[in-house]
Amino acid sequence: MSARPQFHAGYLWAGRIIMLACLIAVPILYPQKYVVHVLGLAMIFAIAALALQVLLGFAGLLSIGQAAFLGIGAYTSAILTTRYKLPFELAFLAAGLSAGIASLTLVPITRLRGVYLAVATLGFTIIIHLVLLNEEWLTGGSFGILNIPWPSLGPWSLKGETAIYYLCLGVLVVTFVALHRLMPSRFGRALQAIMLEEDAARACGVDLTYYKSQAFVVAAIITGFAGSLFAHHSQYLNPNDFTFWKSIEIVLMVAVGGIGSFAGAVTGAFVVTLLPEFLRAADEYRMVIFGSMLIVFMGLGHRGLAGLFSTFALRVLQRRSLAEHASAHGLTR
Amino acid sequence: MSGSQLLELLVGGLAIGCIYSLIALGFTMIIRATGVLHFAQGELVMLGAMFGVTAHRLLPSLPLAPLLLTGMVFGGLAAVAIELGVYRTLRVRRIPLMNITIATIGMSILLQNTGQLVWGSEPIAYPKLFASTAYSLGPARIAPQLVWIIGMGVVVMLLLQLFLAFTRTGRAMQAAAQRPDTAQLMGINLTRITAYTYAIAGALGGGAGVLLGSLFYASFNMGFLPAIKAFVAATLGGLGSIGGAMFGGIIFGVIETFAAVWISTSYKDAVGMVMLILILLVWPEGLVGLIRKRR
Amino acid sequence: MTALLALDRLTRRFGGITAVDALSMRLEAGEIRGLIGPNGAGKTTTLDLISGLTAPTSGRMELLQTDVTGEPAHRLAGRGIRRTFQNLKLFTELSVLQNVMIGLHAAGTTGVCDAIIATPRQRREEEMMVQESLGALATVGLADQVNRPASALAYGHRRLLEIARAIVARPILLLLDEPAAGLNTSEAETLVITIRRINAQGVTALLVEHHMDVIMAACSRITVLNYGQKLAEGTPGEIRGNDSVIEAYLGRPGLEERISAYA
């Protein structure tokens, strides 16, 4: 397998700044409530996709259970703010914490290989969904939770689509930066070692169970935060938002965007969340398209959209630098 | 609980267990042959059910057996089409196993939603294929439907065993599953064997679909959850073992049925999932593995 | 003299097969010991046992008088037992430098929080790891390949990279599993020189090899295994002349005459 295309750091940063600028500009240029709402949702799922990328793209662990943590985070935040009138900041933190604690139940299954781990996480997400559905005293069952308040930051209440949009953007940016610091570190290297050669990782002193579990906890906490944002963004929760299909959708986002690329995870989340909006007329075909995309992208080797973009961009840059090189040496016609 | 109630529950468990066994056999055969966990197996179940009910619409006088055959044939054809069209292309490009597995998730999504486009979102009721009067076994009253399902299921499984043990193709499949390299050296065409494997897995799934449909109803998303449970059953019996898949399915069906009554109906699906996680942690070899160790 | 590593009737059974059969062995600190034997003699399994990749079925293992029997691989690695692999287990998608830095994992303590907040402790540790890794790469002669992806390396250099990864944490015991496999004569010579250099820095080595020249040139003592049991132990000269060793490798004496009788 070839190594990922390497870009000069300058290009990467330029790309990211441009993306960020676009995202900041959108509510100003297109202030329609609907647009801002949908993009906010895309960013929430982008955060969940980033979390899955840590597991799938760096630790090599296929988790089809992330929706469970989304749900745990969402319901924790919703219950604390509606029933116990706690401030949003606390509820947000509690959402991440509860999802993280819940993920500790998965510690025993981290020693399962590949597909078995995947099916076990699928089982986990089914169990959590059933709990959300059946424990009416806690979650309101199929009636769900209504009138979830707007978030707040200290004295400021973030009322309105635009405010919550920028909150989601902020959390997305912080997560993105944090993960970019995490992966080149000792922890990130340990995860990648586990993904690439487990025995060699052990021989270098890496405790497999400990690091795989940590990866799950990190991913769960981040997804829990996303869940909290989801609750206060939709302002209404229903257990059917957190079925195993949602877990599969998150896998879809990462697979389409590109396994191993954080920018890819964000891209995939945007594509999967926004494509239905563009294909309004062909809404029924949405999942057919996604299913096909998943097959095609897996067939192309898992670089996904990010990989396609990188390969294309590299070629353009190489051609340009070759041309510059040629003209500098007087080789052009 | 009275004896007759116990018997009725048992028969119900055996019936759904037979259905799980058929699906589980499909999983097992594909995993033995290619190492891939075929996430789209449940959709082959759905296709079988759908083609079965469509056949009934065209020829309303058909009894269960030809409908079952229709489901099996179309399930098998669909499976072969997917294998030759998609999976083989992926394998030829030497795509890593994890990616192929994710691709089967994509196939599952694709097939489910294609099914929804073709047959609609509403569940389709299966026709009344059985007598309405229940058989009486002492004080117990057993629905003839369940007996038929168990009967058909057992017949299909027996035929499979005979096929694998006594036909050239069947034995070649066994050989290819155990030692693919040696099998190739002996002149066995692996590509064709893999196609046959998918055909059989599809036929088993399709047959299970007809039986499942006749028990409940047919709908585009009917196959996914039963397929996951069938996977649990296959793991319970011992993944990679044909006998394990059969017994695992039946035992799982019985356990699930009794658990629904004794523990809770709303958490019925969770029973399977908890079992799965426990088995994977404690008994990864499944029951077959336990039996082998005792020897 | 107290031994660095003592194996006491170490046994590993796989179902019906006894791969390592009541092996007792003592390694003295500072030596380069060869471990040879015909195919299937249990050499790699012995390394797996010592490095902790496999747990013994019975027997004891002591490292510097401490009982470490059955400890998992990552703990033994932390205690200073490092190894290379017969079929190379490099982290091919990572760079040469990153490969070696992973070898220092047990020497580090920073975790998720340190990394995200970028504490001074994190920066210091990364700096230390980079410096140590560059040093290890220089020892094996790969200092000029630092940022290349490991997959881009030539075969001989990959073998050296795996050694660099194994020595970067200054292990007390280095297990080498057929490091000369696939190397040509001059590469093998470089390998022996590198092993000697590492040994001179205080690392005890256990060398599994089929390449007899390498064994005879590098090792001070040799242990011979056959069918999982110790067949002989001694200096290279003693082993060369040992009849049972010759028989294990080459069959019964007089084989040449008997074959030529058929010619």
Q: Give the C-alpha separation, C239 to C229, whole Å.
A: 16
DSSP string across C3-39: -SEEEEEEEEEETTEEEEEEEEEEE-TT-EEEEE-ST
Whether residues A124 and B110 touch (CB distance < 8 A) is answered with no
| pLDDT over 70 at A329, yes or no | no
Q: Is B89 on the interface with A (CB under 8 A)?
A: yes
pLDDT of residue C95: 94
pLDDT of residue C115: 92
Q: Is C94 on the interface with A (CB under 8 A)?
A: yes
Q: Give residue ranges of A with CB < 8 Å to any C CB.
A: 1-4, 178, 181-182, 185-190, 192-193, 196-197, 199-208, 214, 218
Whether residues C108 and A4 touch (CB distance < 8 A) is answered with no
**3-state class percentages of chain A: helix first, strand second, coil last, to nearest 5:** 80, 0, 20
DSSP 8-class letter at A266: H
pTM of the model: 0.88
Q: Which residue of B has its CA nearest to A133?
A: B266
Q: Which of A64, A113, A119, A243 to mutate to test the interface with B (most CBs of B within 10 A)?
A: A119
Confidence of residue A47 (pLDDT cuts 50, 70, 90): very high
Q: In whole angstroms, what separates CA C254 from the centre of its chain?
A: 35
Ramachandran sector of residue A87 (left: φ over 0; alpha: ψ -120 to 50; beta: rest)? beta
| pLDDT over 60 at C103, yes or no | yes
Mean pLDDT, range C186-194, rounded to an integer: 90
Q: Which amino acid is at B174?
A: Q
Percent of chain A with pLDDT over 90: 53
E strand or H helix that includes residue C207: strand C204-208
Whether residues C165 and A204 touch (CB distance < 8 A) is answered with yes
Whether residues C118 and A181 touch (CB distance < 8 A) is answered with yes
In chain B, what is the straight-line distance between the N-terminal and C-terminal CA atoms, in Å? 37
Greatest mean pLDDT among A126-140, C12-26, C93-107 lies in: C93-107
Is the pLDDT higher at A194 or at A330? A194
Choose among C154, C217, C149, C140: nearest CA to C183.
Answer: C154
Q: Give the C-alpha separation, A182 to A109, whole Å.
A: 24
CA angle A64, A70, A75 (to 5 degrees): 140
Confidence of residue A208 (pLDDT cuts 50, 70, 90): very high
Q: Spell out which residues of chain A touch residue B102, defining contact as CB-CB under 8 Å.
A: 62, 251, 255, 294, 298
CA angle B134, B136, B141 (to 5 degrees): 60
Confidence of residue C11 (pLDDT cuts 50, 70, 90): very high
Query: Dihedral, CA atoms, A9, C168, C136, A197, nearest 10 degrees?
Result: -60
pLDDT tens for chain B, 295 residues: list them.
Answer: 677 888 888 999 999 999 999 999 999 988 888 878 899 999 999 999 999 988 888 888 777 788 888 889 999 999 999 998 888 888 888 787 778 888 998 999 999 999 998 988 888 888 777 767 777 777 777 888 888 888 888 888 888 888 888 888 888 888 777 777 777 777 777 788 889 999 999 999 999 999 999 888 889 989 988 998 998 888 888 777 888 889 899 999 998 888 888 877 778 888 888 888 888 788 766 666 666 665 4
* Inter-residue contact A261 to A183 (CB < 8 Å): no
pLDDT of residue A333: 46
Whether residues B106 and A123 touch (CB distance < 8 A) is answered with no
| pLDDT over 80 at A93, yes or no | yes
Q: Give the C-alpha separation, B42 to A47, whole Å.
A: 31
Confidence of residue C79 (pLDDT cuts 50, 70, 90): very high
Q: Give the C-alpha separation, B160 to B170, whole Å.
A: 9
Whether residues B109 and A302 touch (CB distance < 8 A) is answered with no
Whether residues C112 and A193 touch (CB distance < 8 A) is answered with no
Q: Give the C-alpha separation, C50 to C62, whole Å.
A: 10
Q: Give the C-alpha separation, B225 to B112, whole Å.
A: 12
Paired strand residues for C177: C208
Q: Spell out which residues of chain C touch residue A197, defining contact as CB-CB under 8 Å.
A: 89-91
pLDDT of residue C243: 78
Q: Is A283 on the interface with B (CB under 8 A)?
A: no
* Inter-residue contact C165 to C129 (CB < 8 Å): no
Q: Spell out which residues of chain A touch residue C124, defining contact as CB-CB under 8 Å.
A: none
Mean pLDDT, range A230-235, rounded to an integer: 93
Percent of chain A with pLDDT over 70: 91
For chain A, which domains are there?
29-302 (1.10.3470)
Q: Spell out which residues of chain C touch residue A3, defining contact as CB-CB under 8 Å.
A: 93, 149, 151-152
Whether residues B109 and A291 touch (CB distance < 8 A) is answered with yes
pLDDT of residue B265: 76
What does residue C35 show for φ and ψ, rounded to 5 degrees?
Answer: -125, 110
**Domain ranges for chain C:** 1-80+171-263, 90-166
For chain B, which domains are there?
3-294 (1.10.3470)
Q: Which amino acid is at B66?
A: P
Size of interface A-B (CB pairs under 8 A): 120
Choose among C241, C206, C217, C232: nearest CA to C37.
Answer: C232
How many Å lie between the alpha carbon of A210 and the closest alpha carbon of chain B? 17
How much is the ipTM here?
0.89
Q: In whole angstroms, what separates CA B66 from the centre of its chain?
A: 19
Confidence of residue C136 (pLDDT cuts 50, 70, 90): very high
Confidence of residue A195 (pLDDT cuts 50, 70, 90): very high
Q: Give the C-alpha separation, B280 to A119, whole Å.
A: 10
Q: Is B227 on the interface with A (CB under 8 A)?
A: no
How many Å lie between the alpha carbon of A276 and the closest alpha carbon of chain B? 14
How many Å lie between the alpha carbon of A186 and the closest alpha carbon of chain C? 7
How many Å lie between the alpha carbon of C110 and the closest alpha carbon of chain A? 7
Paired strand residues for C61: C7
Whether residues C73 and A203 touch (CB distance < 8 A) is answered with yes
What does residue A238 show for φ and ψ, rounded to 5 degrees?
Answer: -140, 140
Report the CATH superfamily, name and number, of domain C1-80+171-263: P-loop containing nucleotide triphosphate hydrolases (3.40.50.300)
